[in-house]
Amino acid sequence: MYPEFIPVKEAFKIIENIKTEPKKERITLEKANSRVLTEDITVLVDVPAFDRAAMDGYAIRAEDISKASETEPVHLKVVYEIGAGSVYPSTLKKGEAVRIATGAPMPQGSDAVVMHEHMKLSGDVIEIDTPLNAKKDVALQGEDLKKGETILKKGQFLGPHHVALIASSGHKTVEVIKKPEVAVITTGSELVEPSKNLKPGKSINSNKYALKGLVEEAMAVPHLTSCPDNMETLLGKLEYAAENYDAIITTGGTAISRGDLVVDAVNTLGEVLIHGVSTKPGKPVGFGVINRKPVFMVSGYPVAAAVQYDSFVRSYILRMQNIHKKFQLTECTAGKDIKSSKKKQNVIRANFNEDEGVVYPLKTKAGINKSIVLSNCYIIVEEGVGNIKKGEKCKIIKYSSLKVC
């Protein structure tokens, strides 16, 4: 028999109490996308590192053309040409100009850029008929990033543009949270690899494929193994996983059958803190600790396993990376009567029509695994609420909101 079922909120608390210290690693910037910073990033070099041309044109001294007009244009002598990456080896003198490309360093002595559109070139002389402010079309040293400035804080989730910013700041490597390594042990003597010729009594192990993808999407590294319903083998695999990885997910073997060994095995090696939560589906979910590693015991039934993973596991794996994601509940209208038991939390696969703001529960059974891909949200009916009538308000979690990105 199950031990006492506990309410979902109590289960959350017990699970949250098991803390794991994120590990850190230093990696090259090439690998830093979608990782989480464990250090503040301080700028090592001014960006730009020097005053540079913000436009293609001619670097000049603004004072040289301060009196330029259509009637009295100013003529400057072009003495050099610099492209991006090179520098003017001298100092710009009165009456001189240097042809300059966007991004190239402003010659010493120059302080403005005249765009091609605003001058005339003949031979090596340019004619200018309008004054320019000093600093016109010049990107000033440090105007983007100032040396010593902190530009990103510990805990920042890095996207491509954050990584580019860290590169700009002069860093080649970055310290981030090490991806949690998560053991996935799918249990059940009936489980086999995909085949069109199944032996009697055998079933294809599909949970393995679902959990591999789910763990990867939570930015962790899955380590997969399957295990027959044999206590010694299971103890061996659990022990190995608890020694080598940061968290363990098992599937199957959490109910009360004689073959259901997982809960007993976890109790042998560590401690079972939860077995049975007031939620439907997913009631026989278990949670324990071996060697201070969290062990999530989810059902063998794929639908129950998916709900249990979405309810308890994903957020934990993310928290191991200091990513704190709250479930986003959306309020909408029931498009059909929703059957729900008052005694527990009900998690009902459904389809939400965004335009109508209406949700339609799926008519399905616990064993219909394809229902997961035929739905786009869960209706969450909390303990104590019971049935909801067509037209009444209800709350959903969109599958798309569960993802990190």
d(CA 15, CA 60): 67
d(CA 194, CA 301): 17
Q: Does 280 bind a second copy (CB under 8 A)?
A: no
23's tokens: 């590990």
Provide the minimum distance between the beta carbon of 5 and a second copy in the complex, in angstroms, as a whole number: 14
CB 289, CB 295: distance < 8 Å: yes
Specify the residue, 163 or 263, whose C-beta has the smaller distance to a second copy.
Answer: 163
d(CA 280, CA 348): 8
**Hey, which residues between 72 and 91 contact a second copy (CB under 8 A)?**
81, 83-87
Interface pick for a second copy out of 20, 141, 168, 351 (rule CB under 8 A) = 168
Nearest to 308 by CA among 283, 329, 325: 283
Q: Does 293 bind a second copy (CB under 8 A)?
A: no
Provide the minimum distance between the beta carbon of 43 and a second copy in the complex, in angstroms, as a whole number: 9
Binding mask 238-277 for a second copy (x = CB under 8 A): --------------x--xxxxxx-----------------
Q: Does 206 bind a second copy (CB under 8 A)?
A: yes
SS3 call for 123: coil
**Hey, which residues between 26 and 65 contact a second copy (CB under 8 A)?**
29-30, 32-34, 44-45, 47-50, 54, 56
Provide the minimum distance between the beta carbon of 83 and a second copy in the complex, in angstroms, as a whole number: 4
Residue type at 395? Answer: K
Pairing of strands 329-334, 393-398: antiparallel
The DSSP result for 320-351, as a single string, is: TTT------EEEEEESS-B---TTSEEEEEEE
**Hey, which residues between 306 and 345 contact a second copy (CB under 8 A)?**
306
Number of chain positions touching a second copy (CB under 8 A): 97
Provide the minimum distance between the beta carbon of 241 and a second copy in the complex, in angstroms, as a whole number: 19
Provide the minimum distance between the beta carbon of 253 and a second copy in the complex, in angstroms, as a whole number: 9
* Only segment of 17-25, 59-67, 182-190, 275-283 that touches a second copy (CB under 8 A): 182-190
Pairing of strands 247-251, 293-298: parallel
**Hey, which residues between 115 and 154 contact a second copy (CB under 8 A)?**
116, 139, 143-145, 151-152
Pairing of strands 358-361, 345-353: antiparallel
